[in-house]
Amino acid sequence: MTLFDRHLLKRFWHVFAIGFVATYGLYVVFDAFSNADEFQSGAAGETTASVLMKMAAHYFFQAFPFFDMVGPILTVLAVIGVFALLQRSREIYPVLSAGVPSWRLAVPIVIGTLTIELALAANQEIIIPNIAERLQANRGDGGAATHDVQPARDYVTNIEISGERLRISERKVFNARVLLPVPLQVIEPTTLKAREAIQIPASKNRPAGWLLREPQPPFEELTLTGEGTRRIMKAPSSNDLFVVTDVTIDQLHNRTRSFKYLSTSQLIHRIRNPAYGMVTIRSQAVHLHERLARPFLILTSVLIAIPLTLRRESHSLLLNIAVCTLTLGALFLLTQVSIHLGRLNVVDIELAAWVPIVVCGTCAAWLSGLVQT
């Protein structure tokens, strides 16, 4: 890598960093002023310093999903910014006069784009899954607040779980109700009621399920079938019950978005799990393809931005940036429409996620001849 390559790479990272700090700073200021009452109500009786510390912790964790959301857009904007600065400062003309082709300048930009994509992948696969509980917490509660429960059904066993409130950080549902199906699990219609239910993840010696504290009716009064005895078990040395099911705590709250906090391996496991409904599985499958296609979409968008910013037949920098912005905006709209059609089952999932890449790749190849030489 030459000295000029390193210069372009540093400038790319610099523009990207400034863009992220500026956009996230605006988000924090706007969100903090809009939701100041929520922070104060969640910290009633505490000092101002304590409230500010909770706000700082909240926005520290929110920076990671924000980076995942704006990272692809900022990457393309950073590329436009780098080549716009080259044009404005006339740095590109000595390079072209020396016989260096314009596409040689894309090498450090592609390397910089790949580093951003690696950072996005590490953020999605490692960081976000480990802080998912904090990301779904209300402002100012630090994950200790409770949320409303959305009933969920296990489509393998037909067991339905509901309740009044839940706490994500503790994987706990208060005043839980478990509806056992007839005649698959029980002979007579039965609803188990417990003061609290705790989700227990699967281990080598135990399947996943829910531990019901002080359930009513007790285990002795249940009319279980053969299948029911394998799904509803009495906990040793207590009156608690363990219900075997793959329903998780995130299915009971914000289930239309919670799968976005999973790693790719966890998401694939969810898609293959027959306990989830077809609508949920399809949404997760669309999100999986969208996640896998995103690195290629970012790279092709960068390759489109370079020739449009360095157009050979135009000497107006503002016009070049305007044309580039409109073109990328139209391709972004195409991508969103395609993904939406996939979610609505109008087109196949694979087609919805990968057609935009084919279109963007074709545009990048077609526009490559417009770059300055």
The answer to whether the CB of 306 falls within 8 A of the CB of 81 is no
Q: Which residues contact 171 (CB under 8 A, 6 or more apart)?
A: 198, 199, 249
Predicted pLDDT at 42: 60
Instruction: Assess whether pLDDT exceeds 90 at residue 23.
Output: yes
Whole-angstrom distance, CA of residue 276 vs CA of residue 192: 21
The answer to whether the CB of 228 falls within 8 A of the CB of 203 is no
Average pLDDT score over residue span 216-236: 87
Q: Which of 93-107, 160-174, 177-191, 337-351 has the lowest mean pLDDT?
A: 93-107
Whole-angstrom distance, CA of residue 308 vs CA of residue 83: 10
Phi and psi at residue 65, to the nearest 5°: -65, -30
Q: Which of 8-12, 32-36, 284-288 has the lowest mean pLDDT?
A: 32-36
pLDDT class of 76 with cuts at 50, 70, 90:
very high
The answer to whether the CB of 169 falls within 8 A of the CB of 191 is no
pLDDT class of 145 with cuts at 50, 70, 90:
low
The answer to whether the CB of 144 falls within 8 A of the CB of 167 is yes
Predicted pLDDT at 184: 85
In terms of DSSP bridges, do strands 147-148 and 165-167 run parallel, antiparallel, or are they unpaired?
Answer: antiparallel
Average pLDDT score over residue span 159-188: 89
The dihedral of CA 251, 254, 258, 260: what is its sign? positive
Query: Considering the chain, what percentage of its residues have pLDDT values greater than 90?
Result: 33
60 token code pair: 């520290």
Q: Which residues contact 186 (CB under 8 A, 6 or more apart)?
A: 180, 222, 223, 224, 225, 228
Predicted pLDDT at 102: 72
The answer to whether the CB of 31 falls within 8 A of the CB of 105 is no
Phi and psi at residue 174, to the nearest 5°: -95, 140
310 token code pair: 């360095």
Instruction: Assess whether pLDDT exceeds 60 at residue 142.
Output: no
pTM beyond 0.75: the answer is yes
Stated as kind and residue range, the H or E segment containing 73 is helix 48-88
Whole-angstrom distance, CA of residue 311 vs CA of residue 315: 8
Whole-angstrom distance, CA of residue 302 vs CA of residue 320: 15
The answer to whether the CB of 249 falls within 8 A of the CB of 262 is no
Average pLDDT score over residue span 308-318: 79
- Give the position of tokens 């500026």: 22
End-to-end CA distance of the chain: 21
Instruction: Kindly list the distances between the CA atom of residue 338 and the CA atoms of 101, 271, 327, 342, 364, in Å, as whole numbers in the listed order.
Output: 36, 21, 17, 6, 19
